[in-house]
Each structure stands twice: as structure tokens, then as C-alpha cells.
Amino acid sequence: MFESKSGVLLIAGLFFFALAFVSNAVVPMVMYRHLPEKTALQVVNGNVRYQFEDLARRYPEPFKQAFGSPPAGEAEEQAWWNEKCAEALKVGRKVYVGEGCWHCHSQFIRPVSNEDRRWGPVSRTEEYQNELQRPVMFGTRRVGPDLCREGGRRSNDWHAVHFFEPKRLSVGSPMPEYPWLFEGSPEKPNLKGLALMTYVQWLGSWLECYPDHEQYEESPTKALTLTEAK
């Protein structure tokens, strides 16, 4: 095989395949040295910390069961909150993936179809360069709305009730119930429930314009008459 000219072509062909495959993984790694992937701990920010501590205040007992209590000492306590928040983000993402949330909710805003007006700024590359986007959660179908600007829009107890039984809050929503994220009632979320809420509150929390709100105006003409009346 090696001595003939055609054998060289065969070997070269297969070699190029292998090279294409290897470069698929290696080239991005080499290329992104200047843009290292952030760990879960690094993406914890003030906004999501606030929501996480809010969970601890709203659901003290379930929270204690899931994450324990903070240690004494200012520095230790701060480190503990960050650490637990990162842990919650990781677990929350696992639940998000495992329940197939991403099959009905996308996580990117396109520059077309008025999406930036509905949800907020168009997605940028840097937003996806972290551990919680491995594999990336772009999604392919939107039965429910996009979630990548969801953080902070709604309160934690809204999310708790909504996960427990979506119909109580969104009439006619086709979203399924997730009672196994709770111990019987929306007041008692378990570890998975708390983590998923932290994850959802994290989405978009890194943006300056956080939180984004959908601009629901009844009708443009009505708004116009209101401003004229003033």
C-alpha cells in the first residue's frame, strides 16, 4: 500500500480527515487563550447573589436543608455565599438540561424579527464563554419565550408558583408542571427547585441594563393620548 502512488493518496485522504477532526477541538482551544472560559464561580455576580440570598430569606427551612447555614465571620460568610451560589447554578443548569427546558425555551436574541424590542439586547459571543454554556444552550424551538434575559424580571416566589403549576400564573400556558422540584407545595422548594430558580435568575444578570422588561403597551394610540392629556 505504501509503495504505490495511489496508496499515498489513500493515506493522505484519511490523514486529512483525522487532522480536520483534531483541529475541530484544538484550534478553538488555542485561539481562545486570551478569552478563557469562565468557571461557575466567576460568573456569580451581585445580581444573582441578591436573588440567591432572597431565596434564603423567603424559604429559610428548605434553603437550610439544601445548602446548610453560612459560617461565622464576615469573609468566610461572603465566600460561602459565592460558593453555594455557584453550586446552585451548576445544579440548576443540570435540571434545566435534564427536564428538557431548552427544547421549548431558546437562549439567544436575534437581531431580527423585533426580538431586541421584546427581550433586550442582541446576544453577543462573550456571553457564552463560560462553564454553564458547555454545551451551549442556544435552543432550536420557542414554544415559550426566550429566557436569556429572564433574570430579575420576575420574583422568586413567582417562579416557585410557576414551576409548581404554571397555569396559576399564566392562563392557558402549555408548560408542564414540575411538582418534583418541591416538597408538596410551592412554599417548599427542594434543592433542585432552588437551584433551577437561581439558574433562571442568573440568565442575563451580567448585563448593564438588567433587568429587562417586556414593553407591553396596550395600544400606541392610547399611550399617545395619555401623553397629550398631560
Partner 1 sequence: MSTEAVPQQLPEHKDLVIEQLVIWYFLAALAYLIISMLGGFLMALQLVDHNPLRGIEVLSPGRWRMIHTNAIAYGFLANAFLGALHWVVPRLTLRQVASRALSYFTFAAWQVVVLSTAVGIMLGEAQGLEWGETPTWIDPLAQLGLLLVAINFLTPIVQTRGPMYVTLWYFTAAFIWTFLTYAMGNFVPEYFVSGTSAGAVGGLFIHDLVGLFVTPLGWGLMYFFVPILLQKPIWSHGLSLVGFWGLAFFYPLTGIHHFLYTPIPMFLQHGAVISTIAVEMVVLTVIINFFGTLVGTGQAFMKNLPIRWFYTGMVYYFLTCLQCAMQTTMTFQALIHFSDWVVGHAHLVMFGVFSMWLQGIMTYLFPRLFKHEWYSKTLCEWHYWLSAIGLLVMATDLTLAGVFQGYWWASLQPWEVSTEGSFPFWMVRIYAGLAMFIGQIIFVYNICMTWQLSRRAAVPATIAA
Partner 2 sequence: MPDPIKPVDIEATPRSQNRRSLWATSGFALVILIPSLYGFGGKFIEFVQLYRGDVDGVFAISPILNYLLASMGFFCLFCWAVTQGMFQDIERPKRAMLDLQNQLDYNASSQSGVAK
Residues engaged in binding partner 1 (CB under 8 A): 17, 21, 24-26, 28-29, 32, 37, 95, 97-104, 106, 108, 110-115, 117-118, 123-125, 127-131, 133-145, 170-174, 176-180, 216
Count of Cβ atoms closer than 10 Å to residue 11 Cβ: 12
Residue 133: how many CA atoms within 13 Å on its side-chain side? 20
# of chain residues touching partner 2 (CB under 8 A): 20
How far apart are CB 185 and partner 1 at their closest, in Å? 13
How far apart are CB 219 and partner 1 at their closest, in Å? 12
Contact flag: residue 122 with partner 2 (CB under 8 A): no
Contact flag: residue 9 with partner 2 (CB under 8 A): yes
Nearest residue to 149 (alpha-carbon basis) of 121, 191, 178: 121
CA dist 175 and 10 (Å) reads 53
CA dist 153 and 170 (Å) reads 15
Contact flag: residue 5 with partner 2 (CB under 8 A): yes
CA dist 85 and 212 (Å) reads 22
Region binding partner 2 by CB under 8 A among candidate stretches 13-21, 48-56, 103-111, 192-200: 13-21
Cell of 80: 460561602
Contact flag: residue 6 with partner 2 (CB under 8 A): yes
Phi, psi at 189, each rounded to 5°:
-70, 145
Q: Which residues bind partner 2 (CB under 8 A)?
A: 5-7, 9-10, 12-17, 19-20, 23-24, 27-28, 31-32, 125
